[in-house]
Amino acid sequence: MVRSYLLGFDVGSSSVKASLVDSDSGICIAQKHFPEKEAPIKSVEVGWAEQNPEDWWDNAKKALAFIMKKTGIKAEDIKAVGISYQMHGLVCVDKNKQVLRDAVIWCDSRAVEYGNKAFQEIGQEKCLQHLLNSPGNFTASKLKWVKENEPHIYERIYKIMLPGDYLAMRLSGEINTTICGLSEGIFWDFKQNKIADFLLDYYGFSKDILPDIVPVFSIQCTVSEQTEKETGLLKAGTPICYRAGDQPNNALSLNVFNPGEIASTAGTSGVVYGVSDKINYDVKSRVNTFAHVNHKNISSCTDISSKYDFNEFTRLGILLCINGTGILNSWLRHNVCPSLSYDEMNMLAKSVPVGSEGISILPFGNGAERVLENKKADCSIHGLNFNNHTVRHLIRAVQEGIVFSFCYGMEIMQSMGMSINKIHAGNANMFLSETFRRMLANTSGATIELFDTDGSVGAAKGAGIGLGIYKDNVEAFSSLKQIAFIEPLQKEVEQSRQAYERWKKYLTNEIINKNEML
């Protein structure tokens, strides 16, 4: 019996992961990420964050080479490729498809003021009704920064891309993107169902700078002969059939497609992502609304008559992002307890009572936080007592502080009408900690379901949907198995909520004090 396989790439800020999935069983047979240690992020100015896109391509090839050698799979056995990627990045290339500068990645905050100015001058109501967001610190505003500060670069730009678009270009030689991608860059007008011309005009961008649009699930492009020659691992003509940002893709990986379903991650940054069938937004743009992977552009349908319910086409992702999540836990390990593994840190956290015996940590030390309206907060420790507290208290307080930042943002999502009763998450990063999972359940009141999956596996299965190997998401994720179910522990709920309320008071005071000093 000849077996066929699906290949998924996940372009993260810490590494690029590749996974091979058996299309019949849905089981991942091999995966690898490169670099094995976290990839560097260049920060030549405070608040800046850049990476070289060429490094993503090199790491993708290394990961692919590893899993192909390990499995012995032939290139022709790979039937489709899917791509997941870090959202909101900016890659600029010239007419020869050469990168003009390092990519400005998701956690770079240099463009905040450009977005804020656009929000005011275009009009808050117009931005929210059409874009569902403030232009904020997203890709469009980052491009405006390049236009204003690096005109010699800007004038040479042929196309801009998101990180996943760049990897697809390296694989295929073609440049295209999706409505999902345009929406996360704040280039999509949801009210008019087309590219946001008014934003392009305001920033002074030509529409020609944007890639052509392809559906999320489709044959978007095919592997080029150049890639076949360069890698010897992929066959020319192999279709690339799926592409999505890491958070919509994480939701896909957890089979979160329908209104009211919630997905969460807690890696370098932390995310709670809920699907809605309503055009909605937060008036303060503290959480953001983007097209989900199964959102359909109503203007592309052939028969838009009264028999169609617009909600059949609307699938939006309401995204809460906390920048200072796993990066805080990583900072603590490397700078405070370098001799400990993450597993050992998690065990120490369990040994401390709920509330960390009075310590509260604000985890906002990785740039501007949208959930705080881009106000300055930083990371700070409150209630530390030199006589009573040890490193284990700090470890638990870090995990609790991250949980509380999630709950703070989830309250905003709930104010928009979203019900958060069940959270789907992958068994990775902060969710590996029993303390973190339990505190999140206790404080939010939601149950947590853990699954053994990740972004690159999800991207591979997304490619299977795009090619038609799977008829829908139900078939694609029929092999997804729940590995843990966490309910709030009633005897700890009140203590958890008290610790959260104490944390919120510190946050309020910190924001007021810091911003009065600016």
pLDDT one-digit tens code per residue, 60-70: 999 999 999 99
b/e code 290-325 from CB counts within 10 Å (16+ = b) = bbbbbbbbeeeeeeeeeeeeeeebbbbbbbbbbbbb
Compare 377 and 80 and report the one with higher pLDDT: 80
Does residue 302 fall inside a structural domain? no
Q: Give CA separation, 207 vs 151, 169, 203, 472, in Å.
A: 18, 19, 11, 33
Does residue 103 fall inside a structural domain? no
> 195, 225, 254: which is the final residue of a domain?
254
Report the pLDDT value the prediction gives residue 517, as an integer from 0 to 100.
Answer: 53
Q: What is the mean pLDDT of residues 225-254?
A: 96
239 with 351, same domain?
no
Which residues make beta-bridge pairs with 80?
A: 6
Q: Phi and psi (nearest 5°) for 279?
A: -70, 110
441 with 346, same domain?
yes
Q: What is the mean pLDDT of residues 402-424?
A: 94
What are 248-293's pLDDT values in tens digits?
999 999 999 988 899 999 988 899 999 998 888 998 889 999 999 9
330 with 249, same domain?
no
396 with 506, same domain?
yes
512 with 382, same domain?
yes
Does residue 319 fall inside a structural domain? no
222 with 81, same domain?
yes
Q: Indicate the burial class of 479 (C-beta count within 10 angstroms; 0-12, 13-18, 19 or more).
A: middle
SS3 call for 361? strand
Kindly report the number of other CB atoms within 10 A of residue 109's CB atom: 19
8 Å CB contact between 18 and 456: yes
Distance CA 348, CA 411 (A): 29
Q: Which CATH number do you get for residue 19? A: 3.30.420.40
Report the pLDDT value the prediction gives residue 105, as an integer from 0 to 100.
Answer: 97
335 with 250, same domain?
no
Report the pLDDT value the prediction gives residue 370, as an integer from 0 to 100.
Answer: 81
Distance CA 181, CA 86 (A): 11
Q: What is the mean pLDDT of residues 407-426?
A: 93
- Number of Cα atoms under 13 Å in the Cβ half of residue 46: 3
Ranges of H-type helices in 72-224: 112-122, 124-131, 139-149, 151-154, 163-172, 179-184, 197-203
Which residues make beta-bridge pairs with 382?
A: 360
Report the pLDDT value the prediction gives residue 311, as an integer from 0 to 100.
Answer: 46
Distance CA 422, CA 58 (A): 38
What is the total count of domains within the chain? 2
> 254, 285, 315: which is the final residue of a domain?
254
Does residue 39 fall inside a structural domain? yes
Q: Which domain holds residue 245?
A: 1-44+53-86+162-178+214-254
8 Å CB contact between 212 and 51: no
With 50 as the cut, is the pLDDT of residue 308 above it?
no
Q: Phi and psi (nearest 5°) for 134?
A: -75, 150
241 with 338, same domain?
no
Report the pLDDT value the prediction gives residue 350, as an integer from 0 to 100.
Answer: 97
Q: Give CA separation, 143 vs 168, 174, 305, 411, 463, in Å.
A: 21, 21, 38, 32, 30
The number of helices, as runs of H, and strands, as runs of E, in the chain is 17, 23
Distance CA 418, CA 410 (A): 9
Does residue 340 fall inside a structural domain? yes
Tokens at 48, concatenated: 């800046």
Task: Work out the pLDDT band at 301, boundaries 50, 70, 90.
Answer: very low
382 with 511, same domain?
yes
Q: What is the mean pLDDT of residues 207-228?
A: 97
Tokens at 158, concatenated: 């042929």
245 with 338, same domain?
no
375 with 500, same domain?
yes
Distance CA 58, CA 419 (A): 42
Report the pLDDT value the prediction gives residue 30, as an integer from 0 to 100.
Answer: 97
8 Å CB contact between 71 and 29: yes
> Cis ω on the peptide bond leading into residue 239 (within 30° of 0)?
no
- Region of 9 please: left (phi>0), alpha (psi -120 to 50) or beta: beta
> 203, 237, 254: which is the final residue of a domain?
254
Q: Which residue has the tokens 């670069």?
A: 153
Does residue 349 fall inside a structural domain? yes
Task: Work out the pLDDT band at 215, boundaries 50, 70, 90.
Answer: very high
Report the pLDDT value the prediction gives residue 1, as an integer from 0 to 100.
Answer: 60
Does residue 480 fall inside a structural domain? no
Q: What is the mean pLDDT of residues 27-50?
A: 94
Does residue 433 fall inside a structural domain? yes
Percent of the chain that is helix, strand, coil (3-state, to 5): 40, 20, 35
Q: Which residue has the tokens 């260049």?
A: 42
410 with 502, same domain?
yes
Task: Work out the pLDDT band at 514, boundaries 50, 70, 90.
Answer: low
DSSP 190-248: TTTTEE-HHHHHHHT--GGGSPEE--SEEEEEE--HHHHHHHSSS-TT-EEEEEEEHHH
